[in-house]
Amino acid sequence: MSRTRKTTTASKRTAAKGGAAVTKEPLMADALKAEEKAGKAAETVEKKAEVVKENAEKRTAEVKKAAEEKTAEVKKAAEEKTAEVRKAVEKAGKEVKEAVAEKKEEVKKAVKAPARAARAKKAAKAEPLTKVFFQYMGGQVDQETLVKKVVDDANAQGVDVSSVKLYVKPEEGKCYYVANDNFMGAVDLF
């Protein structure tokens, strides 16, 4: 029995050794498979990360491009509005300058008018009040009466008198006249 026991113990040992060897191989295979799966998973994750990174870069580029386009549009619109505002301001400035110039001229005229009137008054005051009388051989007529006779005579002949020139000839007893530089006539002096 002792032999049998030895064999049994040896078989147990071999079985234990063989069992361990059998047990190690499947563990190693499982570890290798797990390692392969992990490697594949890592590759997949890396590929997906690259795709995500590329998509993010594309999207970033698209967003940048869209932002640049919008910025350019806004800039262009702002420049156009600025140009419009400048034109409007220049136009308004010209209108204001013209209005100021017109008012300036009006003020100058308004200032000059009283000055002219004052000069005219002085000139009128400088000339003495005169009354002219024509006397000849006992007859007498004054200037106002003579002018009235001339105007009445011209009006009677259908002439509207705006200016008149008188030529007095007392020796003939007549006053010859030219009305409006184109109509001639004569009236008696006395």
Q: How many domains are there within the chain?
A: 2
Q: What is the pLDDT of residue 15?
A: 46
Q: Looking at the structure, tell me whether residues 45 and 136 fall in a common domain.
A: no
The CA distance from 108 to 97, in Å, is 16
Stated pTM of the model: 0.36
Q: Looking at the structure, tell me whether residues 102 and 136 fall in a common domain.
A: no
CB 185 within 8 A of CB 151: no
The CA distance from 116 to 124, in Å, is 12
DSSP H or E stretch at residue 180: none
Q: Looking at the structure, tell me whether residues 2 and 81 fall in a common domain.
A: yes
Q: What's the full length of the chain, in residues? A: 190
Q: What share of the chain is helix, strand, coil (3-state, %, to 5)?
A: 75, 15, 15
DSSP 3-state of 184: strand
Q: Looking at the structure, tell me whether residues 41 and 108 fall in a common domain.
A: yes
CA distances from 161 to 126, 144, 168, 177 (A): 29, 15, 19, 11
Q: Looking at the structure, tell me whether residues 18 and 28 fall in a common domain.
A: yes
Q: Looking at the structure, tell me whether residues 15 and 84 fall in a common domain.
A: yes
Asked which of 108, 129, 150 is the last residue of a domain, the reply is 129
DSSP state of 138: T
Residues of the chain with pLDDT under 70: 1-24, 120-127
Q: Looking at the structure, tell me whether residues 72 and 16 fall in a common domain.
A: yes
Q: Looking at the structure, tell me whether residues 124 and 155 fall in a common domain.
A: no
Q: Looking at the structure, tell me whether residues 81 and 112 fall in a common domain.
A: yes
Q: Looking at the structure, tell me whether residues 84 and 16 fall in a common domain.
A: yes
Q: Looking at the structure, tell me whether residues 119 and 151 fall in a common domain.
A: no
DSSP 3-state of 30: helix
Q: Looking at the structure, tell me whether residues 32 and 123 fall in a common domain.
A: yes
Per DSSP, which regions of 77-146 are E strands?
Answer: 133-136, 139-142
Asked which of 83, 102, 129 is the last residue of a domain, the reply is 129
Phi, psi of 156 (to 5 degrees): -65, -25
Q: Domain range holding 68?
A: 1-129
Q: What is the pLDDT of residue 23?
A: 58
Q: What is the pLDDT of residue 34?
A: 82
* CA torsion angle 24 25 27 30 (round to 10): 170
The CA distance from 54 to 58, in Å, is 6
pLDDT in tens, 49-81: 888 889 889 998 998 998 899 989 999 998 999
The CA distance from 89 to 91, in Å, is 5
Q: What is the pLDDT of residue 14?
A: 45
Asked which of 97, 113, 129 is the last residue of a domain, the reply is 129
